[in-house]
Amino acid sequence: MSTPSHDLVAFGATSFVGKILCRYLLEEFGAQGDMKWAAAGRSKAKLEELRSSLGAKAGTLPLVVADAADEASLRKLCASTRVVVSTVGPYALHGQPLVKACAESGTDYCDLSGEVQWIRRMLQHYEATARKSGARIVHCCGFDSIPSDMGVHFLQRQAMKRLGVPCTRVKMRVKVMRGGFSGGTVASLMNVVKEVAADPALRKELADPYSLCPAGSAPNVRQPDVRSAEFDVDFGAWIAPFVMSAINTRIVQRTNALSEQAYGADFTYDEAMLMGRGVKGMFAATAMAAGLAAFMLAGSIGPARAALERFVLPKPGEGPSPAAQRKGFFDLRFVGTTADGRQIRTKVTGDRDPGYSSTGKMLGQAAACLALDVDKAATPGGFWTPATIFGDRLIRRLTAHSGVTFELVPDLPN
């Protein structure tokens, strides 16, 4: 087999988030420096337009044309690189042939998928193949689920260092999150809603907190799940459901399962949004919970969903403006409690719009970590989570190059 010409190929380079990723890769790594990478997509003309908008010369940033529906072109793409990072979504509609090609060819792969039902299908179909070929597959390398998965990893590291034991109960609370949505994210969310409407059994699968854990590894532990407005005593504030907990909690549970329950056999984890104190906080939490429920209900009714897609939500290729992305940020608070009741508090922050500028930087560093830091001989093929495959190496990259911080916070009200 010939040596791949690239360390990394960014597939979906012309997507909304793919453009952000490519700009970041170019700024951070150059085109043909320590990490030799190429931009890929289905349209040569769009790729050329992207390359010139990035100010890169034809000789320095190679382009690869491949179609997500054409297996032969994906096999060629895999042969040209050691790692593929994909932003071609919704993954449930376009992602399977590429995961198959990577698993079969031993090519490492990471993406931005937050679609639990699709990730579960990929595990079922290709985990054994990836183990055999040596392909390391890492889903969820964006805002879902890096801050949650790496945030819990960081908290548990601090707990072991300071308290000598892991925290068996961890809560993540979104203190602040300012950012927008792109058409691709909305399309992915709407596709999940459509799949659930067409297959009611999927609802049960999505409700299982251990749905991404290896078969037979689910402990008999009931996981907390914030579904309505509640008062959280640990934070002294009202909380409301957080939409991304549906994927993040599954990834964190998979991390615990893959690491032989390093967080504890009875580990529990949940996520919610902090909505403030007193009566104002209670009203805000109730309104947020009701608004989210109404949005999900509208999404599940065909005509209402069509109206939302047509008149309200961004279209594929659209998303928050560069100025809005620069103004965005996030601040996530974690509290961990040990089995004997001791607590530790940490936070994870990001300096840009969580789903786009920050996601582009997190995905870029995760892909670089896969290409440059994770030795093939030491880390076998299979489906990993960000925390189990990257660990502290990714925390170092994120804090140094992505505007993401991981910190201990004093044990005071957040």
Ligand X SMILES: NC(=O)c1ccc[n+]([C@@H]2O[C@H](COP(=O)([O-])OP(=O)(O)OC[C@H]3O[C@@H](n4cnc5c(N)ncnc54)[C@H](OP(=O)(O)O)[C@@H]3O)[C@@H](O)[C@H]2O)c1
In angstroms, what is the C-alpha Rg of the chain?
A: 21
CB closer to ligand X out of 187 and 237? 187
- Minimal distance in Å, beta carbon 71 to ligand X? 12
254: nearest Cα among 153, 335, 159: 153
Integer Cα distance of 213 and 121 in angstroms: 12
Kindly identify the residues of this chain, within the stretch 76-95, that bind ligand X according to CB under 6 A. 87-91, 94
Do residues 289 and 240 lie in contact, with contact meaning Cβ atoms separated by under 8 Å? yes
CB closer to ligand X out of 291 and 317? 317
CB closer to ligand X out of 18 and 386? 18
352: nearest Cα among 406, 288, 402, 410: 402
- Minimal distance in Å, beta carbon 136 to ligand X? 18
CB closer to ligand X out of 23 and 42? 42
Q: Does 402 bind ligand X (CB under 6 A)?
A: no
Do residues 90 and 184 lie in contact, with contact meaning Cβ atoms separated by under 8 Å? yes
CB closer to ligand X out of 43 and 53? 43
Stretch that binds ligand X, among 140-148, 273-281, 331-339, 400-408 (CB under 6 A): 140-148
Q: Does 167 bind ligand X (CB under 6 A)?
A: no
Q: Does 317 bind ligand X (CB under 6 A)?
A: yes
Kindly identify the residues of this chain, within the stretch 168-187, that bind ligand X according to CB under 6 A. 182-185
Stretch that binds ligand X, among 139-147, 271-279, 370-378, 383-391 (CB under 6 A): 139-147
Q: Which residues contact 382 (CB under 8 A, 6 or more apart)?
A: 127, 130, 131, 136, 137
**116: its two tokens:** 């639990």
Q: Does 316 bind ligand X (CB under 6 A)?
A: yes
Among 107, 156, 168, 188, binds ligand X (CB under 6 A): 188
- Minimal distance in Å, beta carbon 145 to ligand X? 7
CB closer to ligand X out of 106 and 319? 319
CB atoms within 10 A of CB 87: 27
In DSSP notation, 211-226 reads TTSPTT---S-PPP--
CB atoms within 10 A of CB 163: 15
366: nearest Cα among 332, 401, 326, 331: 401
- Minimal distance in Å, beta carbon 181 to ligand X? 8
In DSSP notation, 318-366 reads ----HHHHHH-EEEEEEEEE-TTS-EEEEEEEESS-TTTHHHHHHHHHH
Integer Cα distance of 229 and 307 in angstroms: 28
150 burial type by CB count under 10 A (0-12 exposed, 13-18 middle, 19+ buried): buried
Query: What would the x/- binding string for ligand X be over residues 343 to 362, using CB under 6 A?
Result: ------------x---x---
Query: What would the x/- binding string for ligand X be over residues 12 to 31, using CB under 6 A?
Result: x-xxxxx-------------
Among 23, 41, 270, 313, binds ligand X (CB under 6 A): 41
For residue 176, what is the enclosing H or E element? strand 169-178
Q: Which residues contact 106 (CB under 8 A, 6 or more apart)?
A: 133, 134, 135, 381
Q: Does 250 bind ligand X (CB under 6 A)?
A: no
Stretch that binds ligand X, among 121-129, 161-169, 198-206, 316-324 (CB under 6 A): 316-324
175: nearest Cα among 156, 147, 200, 204: 147
Among 45, 48, 58, 69, binds ligand X (CB under 6 A): 69
CB closer to ligand X out of 214 and 317? 317
- Minimal distance in Å, beta carbon 402 to ligand X? 13
Kindly identify the residues of this chain, within the stretch 96-135, that bind ligand X according to CB under 6 A. 112, 114
CA 135 vs. chain centroid, Å, equals 19
Residues that bind ligand X (CB under 6 A): 12, 14-18, 41-43, 46, 67-69, 87-91, 94, 112, 114, 142-144, 182-185, 188, 316-317, 319, 355, 359
